[in-house]
Structure 1
Amino acid sequence: MYWLTAIVRPFKLSDVYERLLSDGVGGMTVTEVKGFGNQRADTEIYRGNAYTSRFVPKVKIELAVSEKDLERVVESIVESSQTGSPGDGKIFVYKLEQALRIRTGEVDLEAI
């Protein structure tokens, strides 16, 4: 099993969600986050004043996937979130030791 964390543009969340749903992904956690990478601060004009945001808003998607589904899920996230511009995001994959469903006590693949 693997724990997958994807950081994507907020307006791409719907596309990623629909794609993963059609791929049969059973669940995910989504968090609104801010950060920066190579895509640095953004200057916006609001009511005639310039404001610089040091952190860029993003969405963090987290989900557990089986080893056999990992490559397909990663490809789906890339294809549905990619714009070709800097700031499209990142995907991190971690080895997941164990998963446990609290309600039923199911473990590992049965829990996800």
Structure 2
Amino acid sequence: MEKLNDTIILRVSKADRERIRAKMDELGVMNMSAYIRKMALDGYCVKLDLQDLKELIRLLRICSNNLNQYAKKANETGSIYLADIQDLQVRLDELWRAAKELLVRLASIS
């Protein structure tokens, strides 16, 4: 990341500062310098709702945990049940489908 060592002084009215802070709050931005820099350079800020991604990560953790349990069982007993593997495959297929849908939605953001 490039070092920020140049300064620009920007004077605003109290009302303007309050409007800037309100817009930052809408986006969930905490750093005013970063917000103003982004707006000056790009003219917009985007707030992504990543709840679907958080859910996908949660499901991946569950699936990974299940896979670890199957591997531990296979190492201890030398065998695992076909139904367990099929269940894991169905869950992984669902996760891949959800991931593809999420990526398509994220790619369509403009």
Tell me the TM-score normalised to structure 1 length: 0.23
Greater Rg by CA: 2
Quick one: higher RCO (CA 8 Å, sep 6+), 1 or 2?
A: 1
Tell me the TM-score normalised to structure 2 length: 0.24
- Bigger share in helix: 2
- Bigger share in strand: 1
